[in-house]
Amino acid sequence: MEILDFFITSAHAQDAAAPGGLMSFLPLIVIFVIFYFLLIRPQMKRAKEHKQLVNQLASGDEVVTNGGLLGRISNVGESFVTVELAENVKIKVQKHAISSVMPKGTIKSA
């Protein structure tokens, strides 16, 4: 009887040690959900907002480039914009190099 009890208890112990199929993937699923809400979703939202900002660029907007240059847009092309930094000082940059649009009058106060 003791030998039979030994085999029964070791069989129960083996069943308890092996988690179910879904339970073994649960930590990976939780980690993916956390990454989605903390990293992926905010990055997609920022990319969407930047794309909208780039599409709405117009002549006369005061902008800051990724390099930190503050100027006024004088010409908008298909993929490039001409930014006037000072009187008779113009540079041509890609639209995606514009990081933000500033309120009107920012250049005068700077």
CATH number, domain 59-109: 2.30.30
Per-residue tokens: 65: 């480039």
Question: 62-97: per-residue pLDDT in tens?
Answer: 999 999 999 999 999 999 999 999 999 999 999 999
Question: 12-40: per-residue pLDDT in tens?
Answer: 555 554 556 778 889 999 999 999 999 99
3-state secondary structure of 88: coil
Cα 14 to Cα 100: distance, rounded to the nearest angstrom = 61
